[in-house]
Amino acid sequence: MLPPFEAAMTRPYRLLFVCLGNICRSPSAEGIMNHLIQQRSLSGQITCDSAGTSSYHIGSSPDRRMSAAAVQQGITLSGAARQFEPADFEAFDLILAMDGDNYRNILALDRSGAYAHKVKLICQFCRHFKDREVPDPYYGGESGFKYVIDLLRDACEGLLEQVEPQVRA
Ligand code: 4NP
């Protein structure tokens, strides 16, 4: 279930993807979703951004190994890492965490619990993969980065299937 969205005619539906460093998984989810949005002529109706729960890599470009895996699938990664901030709860309609730690760290910033309904684990939208979380590829090899792209493509396609009827309504 997605949170209610009643402003489809006046503003875009805003998605925020969140991981730890904002240099591997969340920029990949952002790049994949932007690719799907363009393919389906939904530009302007759905917007994407990404952030990290940590401050480790603020200002950095996406990880080279992650970008290489994405390019092999026709996806270009862009942007500079930023840290998730409480203002993001208001600024976005849906906040997609890559793993359970990210999910808990995001919710810990929502002291009142007012925004918990906007925060989801992205893998809940997978249609084929059984994973509950997107594994952190940072300390692993090339295959881990490729796996992240394949998993996120499945999750983003499933997510878009749910968001699209809301923005076309
Ligand atoms: P991300 O990957 O959360 O997918 O961007 C990581 C990036 C950096 C680190 C860990 C995970 N790090 O420990 O610096």
CA dist., res. 164 & res. 168, Å (int): 6
Phi-psi sector, 59: left (phi>0), alpha (psi -120 to 50), beta: left
Cβ 124 vs Cβ 2: under 8 Å: no
The residue contributing the CA closest to ligand 1 atom 8 is: 21
Please give the pLDDT value at position 9: 59
User: What is the pLDDT confidence band of residue 169, given thresholds at 50, 70 and 90?
Assistant: confident
Whether the CB of 25 sits within 6 Å of ligand 1: yes
User: Is residue 6 pLDDT above 80, yes or no?
Assistant: no
Please give the pLDDT value at position 77: 98
User: Is residue 65 pLDDT above 60, yes or no?
Assistant: yes
Using the mean position of ligand 1's atoms as its centre, give its distance from the Cα of residue 24 in Å: 6
User: Is residue 23 pLDDT above 60, yes or no?
Assistant: yes
Q: What are 74-99's pLDDT values in tens digits?
A: 999 999 999 999 999 999 999 999 99
What is the average pLDDT across 18-31? 98
The residue contributing the CA closest to ligand 1 atom 7 is: 21
Lowest-pLDDT choice from 6-10, 16-20, 69-73: 6-10
Ligand 1 atom with minimal separation from the 22 CA:
5
Q: Is 143 exposed, middle or buried (0-12, 13-18, 19+ CB in 10 A)?
A: exposed
The total of other beta-carbon atoms located within 10 Å of residue 79's CB is 18
User: Is residue 8 pLDDT above 60, yes or no?
Assistant: no
Catalytic residues: 19, 25, 136
What is the average pLDDT across 126-155? 98
The reported pTM is 0.97
